[in-house]
C-alpha cells in the first residue's frame, strides 16, 4: 500500500493566518502537530514512510521536508504551478507505479481533520483490499450532519453493489456511486439530506496507481499524454525541465470533474470517523471548544458582553465589547474582522490582494 498526500493548496479562507510562506496545511490548528503532520501520523500504521509521496507547490518543498523528515526527500514532489487535483494525482501515481506496478494508492488532502483515527484506518484498509482485487475507483463518503453548502456530495445507486463485486467483498458496505454533485445552495443541500442517498464528498480516494492512470487516459487524454512525457524523464537529469514543460500545457482540472463524474467504475464506503475539511474560520470555530459565552479564544483578549465569537491573536490583546458571531484574527501584519456568516468571502479579499500584488500581506 502506498500513500499520496496532496499538499499544494494555499488555504485562502484561512487568511490572514494562512499565507504563501506557510499555508493552512503547515499550521498547528488543533495540536502541536501541523495539519500535514497529523495526516502523515494517521497513515503510519498502514503505510511505510518510504511508500508515502507528497505533491506540493515547488515553493513549499523545503517546508514539507521540515515538517515530514521521515519521508525520503525524493518522495516530496514540487509542482511548478498548481493545476488542481487531477494533475497532482496523476503525478503521484507515476511515482508509485515506478516503485510497484501493483501499487494501491490512498490519496488524501493534507489539511483535513479526523478525530477517530482507528476507524479511519479500518475504512482505508477495507477500501485498499478491494482496490487490490478489482480495477476500480473507491472514494469515502461522509454521513451528512447538516445541509452543508461548502461540501460536494455523492449520490449512491439504490441497486445493490454486490453484483459488481468479488464474492469476498459483498455485504462489506460498499456502494455503487451514481452521481457527483458540486457544492449546492442551501435548499438543494436540504433536499440531498432528505433524500437519504447522498453523502458528503471527503476528497479521499483509494485505487491502484495504474487504474487511475488508465481512467485519466480515457477521460483526460491530453493530461495523460503530458504525464507520459513526464514519465519518460522520471528519475533522470531532465526530469525538472520536463515537469515545467508539461505543466505549461496542462489544463487545471479536478479529479472529481475530470474523472470521477465520468467513470462508471466508482464505488464508495461510508466513513464515520469525525471528518472535517476545516474549510474556513466558521468550521474551525465549530470544531473548537467554546467557553460559557460560546466564544473560542486563542491568545489574549478582554471581552465584555461578547458571545459566539472566534477571537485569535498571536501578540496583541484584543478588546471587544458587545460583539456577537464575529471572527477576529490578529496575526503578523494583518487583522481580519468578519461576521461568521460571511467567512466564505475571505477568499475574495486574498484574490484582490493578489491582483494588486501586495506581497507583504500574502
Q: Which domains does the chain have, with CATH numbers?
A: 2-136+203-264 (3.90.550.10), 288-361 (no CATH)
Q: How far is CA 62 from the centre of its chain?
A: 20
Grid coordinates representing 4? 499520496
The pLDDT assigned to 308 comes to 97
Average pLDDT, consecutive stretches of 10 residues, N- to C-terminus, the chain (362 residues): 94 91 94 96 95 96 96 96 95 96 97 96 96 95 90 88 81 90 92 93 97 97 96 89 94 95 94 93 94 95 96 93 96 93 92 89 86
Each residue's pLDDT tens digit, 64-107: 999 999 999 999 999 999 999 999 999 999 999 999 999 999 99
Please tell me the distance from the alpha carbon of residue 62 to that of residue 75, in angstroms, as a whole number.
12
The pLDDT assigned to 213 comes to 98
Each residue's pLDDT tens digit, 115-170: 999 999 999 999 999 999 999 999 999 999 999 888 999 999 877 777 788 888 87
The pLDDT assigned to 166 comes to 82
Q: What angle do CA 246, 83, 205 make, to 5 degrees?
A: 110
22 three-class SS: strand
The pLDDT assigned to 360 comes to 86
The pLDDT assigned to 135 comes to 93
The pLDDT assigned to 327 comes to 97
Count of beta carbons in the 10 Å neighbourhood of residue 349: 17
Please tell me the distance from the alpha carbon of residue 313 to that of residue 300, in angstroms, as a whole number.
7
Contacts of 279-283 spanning 24+ positions with Cβ under 8 A:
279/13, 279/150, 279/151, 280/13, 280/14, 280/150, 280/343, 280/344, 280/346, 281/13, 281/14, 281/310, 281/327, 281/329, 281/336, 281/338, 281/340, 281/343, 281/346, 282/327, 282/340, 282/341, 282/343, 283/150
Amino acid at each position: 500500500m502506498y500513500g499520496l498526500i496532496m499538499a499544494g493548496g494555499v488555504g485562502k479562507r484561512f487568511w490572514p493566518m494562512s499565507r504563501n510562506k506557510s499555508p493552512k496545511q503547515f499550521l498547528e490548528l488543533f495540536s502541536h502537530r501541523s495539519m500535514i503532520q497529523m495526516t502523515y501520523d494517521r497513515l503510519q500504521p498502514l503505510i511505510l514512510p518510504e511508500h508515502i509521496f507528497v505533491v506540493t507547490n515547488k515553493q513549499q518543498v523545503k517546508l514539507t521536508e521540515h515538517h515530514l523528515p521521515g519521508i525520503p526527500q525524493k518522495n516530496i514532489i514540487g509542482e511548478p504551478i498548481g493545476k488542481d487535483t487531477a494533475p497532482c494525482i496523476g503525478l503521484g501515481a507515476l511515482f508509485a507505479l515506478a516503485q510497484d506496478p501493483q501499487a494501491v494508492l490512498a490519496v488524501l488532502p493534507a489539511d483535513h481533520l479526523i478525530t477517530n483515527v482507528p476507524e479511519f484506518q479500518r475504512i482505508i484498509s477495507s477500501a485498499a483490499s478491494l482496490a487490490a482485487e478489482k480495477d476500480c475507483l473507491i472514494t469515502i463518503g461522509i454521513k451528512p450532519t447538516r445541509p452543508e453548502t461548502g461540501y460536494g456530495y455523492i449520490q449512491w445507486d439504490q441497486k445493490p453493489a454486490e453484483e459488481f463485486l468479488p464474492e469476498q467483498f459483498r455485504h462489506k458496505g460498499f456502494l455503487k456511486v451514481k452521481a457527483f454533485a458540486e457544492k449546492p445552495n442551501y435548499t438543494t443541500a436540504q433536499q440531498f439530506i432528505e433524500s437519504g442517498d447522498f453523502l458528503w464528498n471527503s476528497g479521499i480516494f483509494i485505487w491502484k496507481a495504474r487504474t487511475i492512470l488508465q481512467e485519466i487516459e480515457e477521460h483526460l487524454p491530453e493530461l495523460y499524454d503530458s504525464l507520459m512525457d513526464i514519465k519518460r524523464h522520471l528519475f533522470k537529469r531532465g526530469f525538472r525541465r520536463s515537469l515545467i514543460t508539461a505543466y505549461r500545457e496542462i489544463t487545471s482540472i479536478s479529479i472529481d470533474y475530470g474523472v470521477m463524474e465520468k467513470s462508471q467504475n466508482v464505488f464508495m464506503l461510508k466513513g464515520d470517523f469525525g471528518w472535517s475539511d476545516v474549510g474556513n474560520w466558521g468550521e474551525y470555530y465549530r470544531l473548537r471548544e467554546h467557553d460559557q459565552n460560546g466564544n473560542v479564544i486563542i491568545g489574549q483578549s478582554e471581552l465584555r458582553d461578547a458571545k459566539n465569537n472566534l477571537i485569535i491573536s498571536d501578540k496583541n490583546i484584543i478588546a471587544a465589547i458587545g460583539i456577537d458571531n464575529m471572527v477576529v484574527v490578529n496575526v503578523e501584519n494583518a487583522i481580519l474582522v468578519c461576521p461568521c456568516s460571511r467567512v466564505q468571502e475571505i477568499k475574495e479579499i486574498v484574490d484582490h490582494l493578489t491582483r494588486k500584488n501586495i506581497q507583504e500581506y500574502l
